[in-house]
Every structure is written in C-alpha cells, then in structure tokens.
C-alpha cells in the first residue's frame, strides 16, 4: 500500500484572475504591422480621435501622468470582462486617491480598434462605463504597440519628466490579457514624481561665518564650500535625528510643489559619500544632482515603522563639479515632513579601493572593481570589526561588480544580505570563470540573523570569481579555505529535527575534503535514492515517519558517516474536523489564520455537518489548509462548494497529493448578487 498526503486549502483573494492568451481575441493582419515599441523603449506621440468630443486625443496631452492604454473591440469577450475592472479598479481607484502613492495622476485611455458597427461600440462603452475612449481607426496606436495581434492588449507608459527610474514616455508594461488589478497597481505605483534639474539662474544664498562653520560640522566635513537655495531658504541643525548619533542637516518646512536644496563644489576624480533620509510619507522626493544630471534618488521603504538612514555614493569625474541635494514635495498628504542630510565625505578612487579591499582582509593586487557605482567599506552593516562591502551608487537597472582570482582546490565562503534593497529580482549574482552560478544550492545555514551564507567548491587551478550586485548589497566574511587531497572530514554534522505532521524537515551537513566529497543520506539505515547533496529535504511527513537520519561522506581517499540524528514528527490530530469531513482517518490543520477550517452545521452536502473555511473580505491572500493521511491505490471522492458576496472575487479551493496539484477551482467572475456554487462531486484516482 502507498501512503498519500492530501492537502486541501481555500485561497481568499479579491482580484479577477488573469485572462490568458488563449482566451484573447486575434485581430489578424487587417491592421498591419509597423515599427513596434517594446517595454523599455520610448513611445512615439500619437493622435487619435476622442470618441465623445471628436477632438484630437494625443499621448502628449497627458504629460506628467501614468497612462494606461486598454485596446478593445465591442466583439471581444475578454475585453468585456477586463475593461470594466480596469476602469473601476485602476482609473476610478487612483482618481479617488489623487494619483498613485507618489501623487502622480493616472489616466486610462480605452483604445477602440473596431470601426464597424459603431452602435455596438457605443453600447459597449455605455455598459462597461468607459470614461475616456479614443478611436484608432487608422491603426496608428495599434501599429505602434501590437506584436502578436491579440486583444485585450494593455500598455502602461510613464509620462513623467525627470523620473529617476524611467525616461519620459517609456513603456514600462505591455501584456496580452488582463493580469489583474493588483499587478497593474504595483506597476503604476513605481512611477515617482519628476524632479526638475536645478535652474542655474535661480540664486542661492552663500553661508559664511558662524553659519557655514556650524553646517560643516553637522555634515562632518570642514572643507565644504556650501550654499542653500532658493533665495531665502533655510536648513537647520537637528540634534535629535542623525546617522551617527550626533547631529544632521534638516530641510526647512516647505509647501507642496516646491523644493529646497544644499549645494557644494568638489574636484574630482573620486567619490562623494553621504547619508540621507526622509519622513515616512509619500508625496516627497530627495534627489542628488551632479552639475545638471540626476545621479541618485532616495528610495523610501514601503513598510518602515521609522524611516532609515540610507547610504549613497556618487562618482565625481575629473575636474571641478557642483553637487546639489534637492528635497521637494508634491501632493504630500502631510506638510510637516522633511529631508535630512548627514556625513558628506569625499575620497579619491585609490583611497576607496584600498579601504574596500582592506575591509575584506585581502591583498589589493588581487581585486578589480567595475560597473556602476562602487563597492565600499561598510562598518555599520558588517559582521566583524574590519567591516564588509556595500554596493552603492547603482541605479535600478545597473550593477556594481568586483572580482578576484581564486586558486583551487578550495572552498569559497561568504555572507551577504540586502538591508535597504527595494529591488524584487535577485540582488546578488556570482559567477565563476564568467559562468553564472545559482546561489540557492550553495546556501548553508548561518549563525548570523538576516544574513545568507554561501559555500562554493573551487576546482583545482586558477579561477576568476566575480560578485555583481544591485544597490545596497552587503558582503562580509569572505574566506578562501584551501584544501589538500585527503579523505573527507565532517565540519558540521546534521542536527535533529522536530516538526508537525504534513510539514517538511531539513538536514544539513558541512564537510571538507578533496576530491570534493559525495554525499549519501540514509533514513533508518537505508540509503535514500537520489539524496546526494549537502542538504536533505523530506516532505509530507507524519508521525510514522519519525526515525533517524544519517549521511555518508566519501571520496577516493575514504569515507566518514555522521552520527544518526532524530526526526520527530508530532501529530496534533483535529478530530472535530475529521468528523465534519465524514473522514475516518487522520486530519491536521495547517497554516491556520484566524479561524481556519472548522466544523459547521450549515450548508452541508451530506449529514448534519461540513468543514468550512471563512475569511472576512478585508483579509486578502489568506490560505487556510488542512491535510489528511490516506493509503493508495484507490479513489478519493469529496464534495466542494464556494460562496462569496464580493463583486470581484478570486476565491479558490485546491487539492494536492504529495505536493502535486490534482484539483483547482476558482470563483473568478463578476458577481451581480451573492453567488453560491452548489456542492459538486470530484473524484481523484491514486495510483
């Protein structure tokens, strides 16, 4: 008999499911093809006809906005489902919020690509409730963005000039099919207010005498030649908030749609380092300009309880240059918000390179640096007195790298973290001899909270190791441990594991030896097929899986076996839930949020009770899970039902057998009234 682990969970989510490519409508080649504008490229201005007024409708009319293009036709079924949601959850939503989280207005243009049957189009527009419709009968806009000939097609464009992350009119999103309101909002909320370059004719007030001495001391640099602007502006010493526990420079109180700045001159080449922060609120920008070029923008965190000081860096080319820090407000919800500047320092490139290599404890002749920004010594975010390395001055699309030559055979070990990163993709990449390595399989447990530790095997000979990071990646405790030909020795044996039923257990072993050893894990003295890595993961465990785990480490010079360690699985059976399910077996509740799954006497399919999972509409993305333990082969049969009173629901019920999805049902459609799906049978065969 084969045992199966059955997981059933109900997912509560208030978003319409994506309309996939297969559900979209093909327009064919009637509208032709032209030069296509792709994501990351700048859109050309276009002129179509405002369907309501008959006046020209141009992209350039919406400068300073985030523009969403919704291509539709009256006969497109998926368009009829997605367009009203885009109108309500995107246009109306952001209109009520006075723009996105940064105060940037959001405009949705519904682009009609069908000239036939105008009365049907009018009916579509009225029923869907479209506010702004443009007729693209010549195909001017369609030809610019269409690549595959399908609708609905959605394009999101940045219309903000001076945006720190995107060019004005840059296409930042383009997809066939509707991915949901949440996906759109996430993209739209990345667009920040633009920051205008400093006006060289706008006068600044030079600081002299006691004022300049005080400000120099506050910024921890007595060599700065400082001025502030615009005329009449004031910056103040703040003894309560600082990056070093002493004092900092704080902006004055300014109104919306205004700015204030501090500027100084510096002679390059070299780097200027500084610390900055803002109040924890939207509607503000803090930017750094080198001469007239925007070189850095403060990135506010999205879940700060208290704002963080952020380190930053700007490379100064050879010659004399002006560096200016501009704090501005636009549509801020509060007026009493400020920007702070502290610890402004200038170092030559040689000084920076020497201190960076010294922080890692290596010979400076073996390291090279390149890419955007720089890796600098960081004693604040470090694990030892020597400090670590932090990547600074890297824009959203760039990377800073450093590399060194490593002689093998050896084990290369390092710790890393991203304390201030707002980038969702992998912040650190590692390559060996110009080949990227996936760091996930190299990760080992670390005794340092919030840090990851990688252990990489370096083959015999000379090899080039390179670390490439986004902004604010920290690396520390970089070690190269040479090994000689020898039998394996165990450095860190696996530890015991205590888990609850249906969960997973992890075991890890760290060993040294060369040739690099092989691993074979065993359970109760029996070798586990295919389990030959440094980490063992066992899934879907129940009380009868409790036992002992060990591992043999071997190479051509010998073998060593770890002492057996205990695997303990606790079963906290939910007897009442088993009764509700009419199931004569073992049932446990997992991932319980609020009430989870419970016994109910209403809406039953068979008998006097059933299992029910309920979450209020205010709670989104919740998974309530229970698991049952059964034997196969055979058939599993159950009845299910979904009920919601929401107008836009994506509740779902899912069934997994040993982590493989066997059954999934969504309630993903617009509801005009409370919707109940009658109890339905479902049958799963277990082989």
Scored b (16 or more CB within 10 A) or e, 557-575 reads eeeeebebeebebebeebe
Q: Identify the helix (H) or strand (E) that includes residue 599.
A: strand 597-600
Tell me what pLDDT residue 302 has.
47
Residue 286 has pLDDT above 80, yes or no: yes
Closest CA to 157 of 242, 263, 268, 40: 40
Q: Which residues pair with 416 in a beta bridge?
A: 452, 475
Query: What is the residue-wise DSSP string for 477-519?
Result: EEEEEE--SEEEEEEE----EEEETT--EEEE-EEEEESPPEE
Q: Identify the helix (H) or strand (E) that includes residue 128.
A: helix 118-128
3-class SS of residue 22: helix
Tell me what pLDDT residue 576 has.
87
Q: Is 434 exposed, middle or buried (0-12, 13-18, 19+ CB in 10 A)?
A: exposed
Cα gap 261→219, rounded to integer Å? 14
Confidence of residue 670 (pLDDT cuts 50, 70, 90): very low
Cα gap 562→552, rounded to integer Å? 6
- Which DSSP category does 348 fall into? -
What CATH architecture applies to the domain 205-347? Sandwich (2.60)
Residue 21 has pLDDT above 50, yes or no: no
**64-123: pLDDT as tens digits:** 899 999 999 999 888 988 999 999 999 999 998 888 988 889 999 999 999 989 999 999
Closest CA to 252 of 329, 162, 343, 342: 329
- The token duo for 558 is 């010998």
Tell me what pLDDT residue 5 has.
57
Q: Identify the helix (H) or strand (E) that includes residue 122.
A: helix 118-128
Q: How many CB atoms lie within 10 A of CB 267?
A: 11
Q: What is the pLDDT averaged over residues 55-66?
A: 93
**543-560: pLDDT as tens digits:** 999 999 999 999 999 999
Tell me what pLDDT residue 532 has.
95
Cα gap 565→547, rounded to integer Å? 8
- Which DSSP category does 186 fall into? H
Closest CA to 242 of 253, 250, 251: 250
Fold (CATH) for 21-179: Glutaredoxin (3.40.30)
Q: What is the pLDDT averaged over residues 480-490?
A: 95
Least confident window among 13-17, 330-334, 392-396, 418-422: 13-17
- Cα separation values, 685 from 58, 363, 455, 637, Å: 58, 64, 43, 9
Do residues 197 and 66 lie in contact, with contact meaning Cβ atoms separated by under 8 Å?
no
Question: Comparing 205-347 with 364-481, is the CATH topology the same?
Answer: yes
Average pLDDT, the chain: 82
For 364-481, the fitting CATH number among 3.90.1170.40, 3.40.50.300, 3.40.50.2000, 2.60.120.260 is 2.60.120.260
- Cα separation values, 422 from 40, 268, 412, 427, Å: 19, 30, 28, 9
3-class SS of residue 472: coil
Q: Is 529 exposed, middle or buried (0-12, 13-18, 19+ CB in 10 A)?
A: exposed
- The token duo for 154 is 């959605």
3-class SS of residue 145: helix
Residue 202 has pLDDT above 50, yes or no: no
Confidence of residue 681 (pLDDT cuts 50, 70, 90): low
- The token duo for 209 is 């005498």
- Which DSSP category does 658 fall into? T
**628-664: pLDDT as tens digits:** 888 878 887 888 877 765 555 567 788 888 777 777 7
Could you state, in order of their start, the residue ranges of all structural domains in the chain?
Answer: 2-14+572-686, 21-179, 205-347, 364-481, 486-570
What CATH architecture applies to the domain 486-570? Sandwich (2.60)
| Pairwise pLDDT comparison (282 vs 171), residue with the higher score | 171
3-class SS of residue 558: strand
Q: Greatest CA separation found in the chain?
A: 89
Peptide bond into 529 cis (omega under 30): no
Sign of CA dihedral 605, 610, 616, 621: negative
Confidence of residue 580 (pLDDT cuts 50, 70, 90): confident
Cα gap 466→402, rounded to integer Å? 6
Q: What is the pLDDT averaged over residues 28-49?
A: 76
Do residues 149 and 29 lie in contact, with contact meaning Cβ atoms separated by under 8 Å?
yes
Least confident window among 179-188, 217-226, 570-579, 631-640: 217-226
| Pairwise pLDDT comparison (601 vs 351), residue with the higher score | 351
Cα gap 126→521, rounded to integer Å? 66
- The token duo for 36 is 């296509």
| Pairwise pLDDT comparison (398 vs 614), residue with the higher score | 398
Tell me what pLDDT residue 10 has.
52
Residue 174 has pLDDT above 90, yes or no: yes
- Cα separation values, 260 from 235, 275, 290, 306, Å: 9, 17, 16, 23
**487-523: pLDDT as tens digits:** 999 999 999 999 988 889 999 999 999 999 999 999 9
Tell me what pLDDT residue 592 has.
54
Q: What is the pLDDT averaged over residues 237-250?
A: 86
Cα gap 251→230, rounded to integer Å? 12
Tell me what pLDDT residue 233 has.
80
């Amino acid at each position: 008999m084969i045992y199966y682990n059955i997981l059933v969970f109900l997912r509560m989510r208030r978003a319409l499911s994506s309309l996939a490519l297969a559900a979209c409508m093909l327009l064919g080649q009637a509208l032709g093809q032209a030069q296509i504008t792709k994501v990351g490229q700048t859109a050309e201005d276009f002129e179509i006809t405002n369907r309501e007024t008959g006046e020209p409708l141009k992209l350039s009319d919406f400068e300073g906005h985030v523009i969403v293009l919704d291509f539709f036709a009256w006969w497109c079924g998926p368009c009829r489902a997605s367009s009203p949601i885009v109108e309500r959850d995107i246009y109306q939503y952001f209109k009520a919020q006075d723009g996105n989280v940064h105060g940037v207005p959001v405009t949705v243009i519904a682009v009609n690509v069908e000239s036939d049957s105008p009365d049907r189009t009018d009916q579509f527009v009225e029923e869907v409730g479209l506010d702004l419709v443009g007729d693209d009968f010549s195909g001017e806009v369609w030809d610019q963005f269409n690549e595959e000939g399908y609708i609905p097609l959605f394009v999101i464009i940045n219309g903000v000039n001076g945006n720190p992350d995107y060019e004005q009119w840059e296409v930042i999103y383009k997809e066939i099919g509707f991915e949901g309101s949440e996906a759109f909002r996430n993209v739209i909320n990345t667009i920040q207010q633009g920051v205008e370059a400093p006006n060289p004719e706008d006068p600044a007030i030079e600081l002299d005498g006691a004022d300049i001495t005080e400000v120099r001391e506050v910024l921890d640099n007595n060599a700065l030649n400082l001025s502030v602007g615009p005329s009449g502006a004031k910056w103040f010493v703040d003894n309560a908030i600082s990056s070093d526990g002493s004092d900092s420079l704080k902006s004055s109180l300014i109104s919306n749609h205004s700015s204030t700045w501090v500027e100084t001159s510096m002679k390059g080449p070299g780097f200027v380092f500084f610390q900055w922060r803002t109040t924890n609120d939207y509607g503000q920008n803090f930017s750094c300009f080198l001469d007239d070029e925007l070189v850095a923008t403060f990135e506010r965190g999205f879940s700060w309880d208290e704002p963080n000081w952020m380190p930053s860096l700007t490379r100064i080319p050879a010659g004399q240059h002006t560096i200016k820090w501009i704090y501005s407000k636009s549509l801020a919800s509060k007026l009493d918000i400020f920007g702070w500047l502290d610890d402004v320092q200038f170092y030559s490139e040689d000084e920076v390179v020497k201190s960076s290599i010294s922080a890692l404890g290596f010979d400076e002749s073996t390291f090279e640096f390149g890419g955007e920004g720089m890796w600098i010594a960081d004693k604040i975010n470090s694990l030892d007195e020597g400090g670590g390395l932090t990547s600074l001055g890297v824009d959203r699309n760039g990377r800073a790298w450093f590399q060194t030559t490593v002689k093998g055979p050896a084990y290369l070990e390092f710790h890393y973290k991203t304390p201030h990163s707002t980038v969702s993709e992998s912040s650190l990449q590692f390559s060996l001899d110009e080949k990227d390595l996936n760091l996930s399989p190299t990760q080992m447990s670390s005794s340092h909270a919030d840090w990851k530790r990688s252990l990489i095997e370096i083959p015999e000979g000379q090899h080039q190791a390179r670390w490439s990071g986004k902004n604010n990646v920290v690396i520390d405790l970089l070690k190269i441990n040479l090994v000689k030909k020898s039998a394996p020795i165990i450095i860190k044996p696996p530890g015991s594991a205590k888990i609850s039923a249906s969960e997973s257990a992890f075991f890890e072993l760290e060993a040294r030896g060369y040739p690099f050893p092989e691993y074979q894990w065993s359970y109760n003295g029996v070798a586990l097929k295919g389990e030959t890595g440094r980490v063992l993961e066992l899934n879907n465990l129940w009380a009868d899986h409790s036992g002992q785990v060990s591992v043999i480490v071997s190479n051509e010079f010998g073998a060593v076996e770890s002492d057996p360690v205990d695997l303990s699985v606790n079963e906290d059976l939910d007897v009442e839930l088993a009764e509700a399910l009419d199931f004569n077996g073992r049932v446990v509740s997992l991932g319980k949020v609020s009430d989870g799954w419970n016994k109910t006497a209403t809406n039953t399919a068979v008998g006097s009770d059933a299992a029910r999972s309920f979450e209020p509409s205010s709670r989104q993305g919740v998974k309530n899970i229970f698991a049952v333990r059964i034997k196969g082969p055979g058939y599993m049969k159950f009845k299910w039902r979904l009920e919601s009173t929401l107008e836009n629901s994506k509740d779902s019920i899912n069934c997994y057998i040993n982590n493989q999805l066997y059954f999934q049902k969504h309630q993903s459609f617009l509801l005009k009234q409370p919707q109940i799906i009658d109890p339905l049978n479902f049958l799963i065969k277990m082989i």
